[in-house]
Amino acid sequence: MRPSILRRLFRRVASTAVLALVAATLSTVGTAPPAAASATATRGGLQQVTGFGTNPGNLQMFAYTPAELPADAPLVVALHGCAQTADAYYTNSGWPEYADLWGFAVVFPQTASANNALSCFNWFDPADDSRGRGEAASVAQMVEYAKQRYGSDSGRVYVTGLSAGGGMAADLLAAYPDVFAGGSIASGLPAQCATSQAGASSCQMGSQKLTPAQWGDKVRAAHPGWSGPWPRVAIWQGTADYTVYPANATALRDQWTDVWGIGQTPSSTDTLPGNTTRATYDDASGQPAVQTYSVSGMGHGLAVNPGSGTEQCGSTAAYFLNTICSTYHTGVFWGLDRDTPGGGEGRLPAPSGLRVTAVTADSASLTWDAVEGAASYTVYRDGTKLASPTATTHTDTGLTAGTAYRYTVTAVDGSGSPGTASAPVTATTTGGGTPARCFTATNYAHVVAGRAHTTGGLVYANGSDQNMGLYNVFVTHTLRESPAGHFVIADTGCTA
């Protein structure tokens, strides 16, 4: 073994206590991760690649490519969490499923205990997470190899990661904005949050109290002189994550919205399956630049949702949690389901004019404006797929009296691909005793009045646990109360 490797190994083992990103993983799995060599015994399609570069970060490269990979296809780099392997991420994350469906290649880098005692990517070490150095440079070499070997489109390269892999993904987006068009950070850390192992635990706890501009400066300093375009970033976080605290999602949101220069108030919010609230921050052209996905009640891990549906993916395992398919929504955000970066062109627009036309004690009737090119529509109630009418009307039945329901609609083209979701509307059924009440106030005032609560610097509506954004006096929402003590966001269609 080279002396430089020995020094790295000694340095990693010497202070493993602060590498708590997945200390719980070790007790869950019960054994240390398999040695790097065992990763060659992979399932169908995953192949190890050697000779991809000088590899200064001492990483292994694995890749999955569909049987018929088109020319100039996108490329996704997927980084595993601590005590995991490339094979585990390949098997459970769902990325191979969408590589087959949408036609793109996936690179799965793998680290090992020679780099880090818990097989974590070193997201906190300047020797590994900086441009042109260590592990970050090895990943960049993998991308360059993939572009040459698979003919990947250099304008559509994306990086995603879980936990320590998410922290490294954020560092890569900052260090290589000229390489990555977008990123997705799951239960991860802001770019350049820590510069030492001692600082890593403080980041995990969300103890870093920086302004958006200070967070943004860390990105800008990672590749001095770069002025854009910046990567589009998705941020996934469970509200019950006590390994990487939810405050990190807020810091990530602050960091990347500041880099984009678009402020920290969402352009829109909506509800997705799995108790997930999505907040979208549009750029100056009206396209999503940053999206946050807050999964209520989810702990530390990657959100998956096993099943055969288009919006379902992955399999459950340690730190692969059955809530919602984050891979699907990340891929759509990046535009992997379409031929253009960002997913803007080719997707059907959001139906306009969604409104409630009638309510009874057990039903709600909706109508919306037709979308040119739509073969059908999908109606969602409280984020769950409800119906697929071909007409521009729908009546939802079997509801509970005196209860508020939130609806959105998407247009679906002839190939079955959904477009952008409409703005939500709220329908409240009649009867049920006390009528619904609406309250418009700042997030701070809602908490003080007992209509909402705080967790990790974010505010959640009591009862529904919908993510309302930051705990401050600048963000304002209307909450509808029905039944008593149960509040839902009703920023449209509800007068205080």
Q: What band does 214 get if pLDDT is binned at 50, 70 and 90? A: very high
Contact 123, 163 (CB under 8 A): no
Q: What band does 137 get if pLDDT is binned at 50, 70 and 90? A: very high
Q: What is the predicted pLDDT for the residue at 454?
A: 83
| 350-376 average pLDDT score | 91
Lowest mean pLDDT among 36-45, 235-244, 376-385: 36-45
359 shares its domain with 445: no
Instruction: State the CB neighbour count (10 A cutoff) for residue 393.
Output: 12
Assign residue 364 the CATH number of its domain: 2.60.40.10
Specify the higher pLDDT residue, 227 or 41: 227
- For the chain, what is the mean pLDDT? 85
422 shares its domain with 446: no
Structural domain contains residue 454: yes
280 shares its domain with 146: yes
Structural domain contains residue 348: no
Examine the fold and report which residue of 343, 375, 400 is the final residue of a domain before the chain moves on.
Answer: 343
Structural domain contains residue 349: no
Q: What band does 41 get if pLDDT is binned at 50, 70 and 90? A: very low
249 shares its domain with 131: yes
The string of pLDDT tens digits covering residues 434-452 is: 567 889 999 989 988 999 9
Q: How far apart are CA 108 and CA 87, in angstroms?
A: 8
Examine the fold and report which residue of 375, 394, 428 is the final residue of a domain before the chain moves on.
Answer: 428
The string of pLDDT tens digits covering residues 254-296 is: 999 999 999 999 999 999 999 999 999 998 888 899 999 999 9
Structural domain contains residue 478: yes
pTM (two decimals): 0.66
Structural domain contains residue 452: yes
Identify the bridge partners of residue 405 per DSSP, sorted by sequence position.
Answer: 427
Q: What percent of the chain has pLDDT over 70?
A: 86
Domain that holds residue 452: 437-489
In 3D space, the residue among 350, 330, 357 whose CA is nearest the CA of residue 409 turns out to be 350
408 shares its domain with 314: no
- Active-site hit among 93, 119, 130, 163: 163
406 shares its domain with 446: no
Specify the higher pLDDT residue, 350 or 340: 350
390 shares its domain with 302: no
Q: How far apart are CA 125 and CA 139, in angstroms?
A: 15
Lowest mean pLDDT among 67-71, 349-353, 439-443, 490-494: 490-494
Written as one letter, the residue type at 496 is: A
Instruction: Say whether 267 is catalytic.
Output: no
Instruction: State the CB neighbour count (10 A cutoff) for residue 459.
Output: 23
121 shares its domain with 220: yes
**For the chain, how many structural domains are there in total?**
3
